[in-house]
Amino acid sequence: MGFQVNLHRADRAGPGARGAGLGSCFTKEAAVHTKGDFNNQVRTACQEQRTGTVGFKISKVIVVGDLAVGKTCLINRFCKDTFDKNYKATIGVDFEMERFEVLGVPFSLQLWDTAGQERFKCIASTYYRGAQVVIIAFDVNDVASLGHVRQWLEDALKENDPTAVQLFLVGTKKDLSSPAQYSRIEEDAIKIASEIRAEYWAVSSLTGENVREFFFRVASVAFETNVLAELEKSGSRQIGEVVRIGSNPSNLYATSKKKQSACCQ
């Protein structure tokens, strides 16, 4: 089983940090969000520093798909800006760590590269648990790999809550496909993405086409989801308020703002 842990390039500023919002989707026909900006609640929470533990959490992303569709190359192109033509199958799992800054808040993605070989499937599937984002990769030049998308999704969701996972369907090796060939498979891919409620992208790890934009999109969507979950969890009580237990049975729990110390006035 292979394990590779790399923590590097901690200075990535996501689209939100530059005021560009969530970034553009690849196509509105199959997108998680068609709007280009963050939820107003999320922007306000970040401005008021009410994002709870989001800045300290690590969001787990798993990349699944058939053998040799280019999962490792996709991650390496983004994390290391390299492309290795000498293909080596992933044994078990590897993972990389990427740190971002979104709307001024630090945010980390843990990118898990899983094996596509059948004999390693049981090993890899044990690492699916706890994923917040599932990326299903297929080769745009291989119709069979697109046909296996639903099975990969089913395997990933066995270990996760389907309602708590963001899905992305990514077509790889776009550089090897002619416009006519790509157009034919894109139609089917968008249809499948819409049916499984995933956002569709097409990329090339060789040229780097759309790779950076795709992962920034993943980071931004995952960040927004995390902040909204924190706000929902806090309910009417704002993050940062103090919970005061009172002696009055009718008002046992009360909240009060933290008092500013005299030294800070």
- Tokens 């009417």, residue? 236
CATH topology (fold) of 5-234: Rossmann fold (3.40.50)
Q: Rounded to whole angstroms, how far apart are CA atoms 171 and 190?
A: 10
Q: Rounded to whole angstroms, how far apart are CA atoms 22 and 31?
A: 12
What ranges do the domains of the chain cover?
A: 5-234
User: What local confidence, expressed as pLDDT, does residue 122 receive?
Assistant: 66
User: What local confidence, expressed as pLDDT, does residue 92 receive?
Assistant: 58
User: What local confidence, expressed as pLDDT, does residue 253 receive?
Assistant: 45
User: What local confidence, expressed as pLDDT, does residue 87 receive?
Assistant: 65
User: What local confidence, expressed as pLDDT, does residue 14 receive?
Assistant: 52
Closest CA to 109 of 239, 31, 12: 12
Q: For strand 133-139 and strand 166-172, is the pairing parallel, antiparallel, or unpaired?
A: parallel
Report how far apart, in Å, the C-alpha atoms of 224 and of each of 44, 157, 206, 221 are: 12, 21, 30, 5
Write down how long the chain is.
265
Q: Rounded to whole angstroms, how far apart are CA atoms 144 and 105?
A: 41
- Amino acid making up residue 127: Y
User: What local confidence, expressed as pLDDT, does residue 19 receive?
Assistant: 43
Q: What is the DSSP letter of 16?
A: G
Conformation bin of residue 47: beta by default, left when phi > 0, alpha when psi is -120 to 50: alpha
User: What local confidence, expressed as pLDDT, does residue 32 receive?
Assistant: 83
User: What local confidence, expressed as pLDDT, does residue 96 receive?
Assistant: 92
User: pLDDT tens, 141-184?
Assistant: 999 999 999 999 999 999 899 999 999 999 999 999 999 999 99
- Tens-level pLDDT at each residue, the chain (265 residues): 343 333 334 345 555 443 457 888 999 999 988 888 999 999 999 999 999 899 888 999 999 999 999 999 999 999 999 998 776 666 557 889 999 999 999 999 999 998 756 555 666 677 899 999 999 999 999 999 999 999 999 999 998 999 999 999 999 999 999 999 999 999 999 999 999 999 999 999 999 999 999 999 999 999 999 999 999 887 644 445 554 554 554 554 444 444 444 444 4
pTM to 2 decimals?
0.81
User: What local confidence, expressed as pLDDT, does residue 184 receive?
Assistant: 95
The upper half-sphere exposure of residue 60, i.e. CA atoms within 13 Å in the direction of its Cβ, equals: 16
* Sign of the torsion angle spanned by Cα atoms 213, 215, 220, 224: positive
User: What local confidence, expressed as pLDDT, does residue 114 receive?
Assistant: 84
User: What local confidence, expressed as pLDDT, does residue 250 receive?
Assistant: 52
Q: Rounded to whole angstroms, how far apart are CA atoms 23 and 217?
A: 6
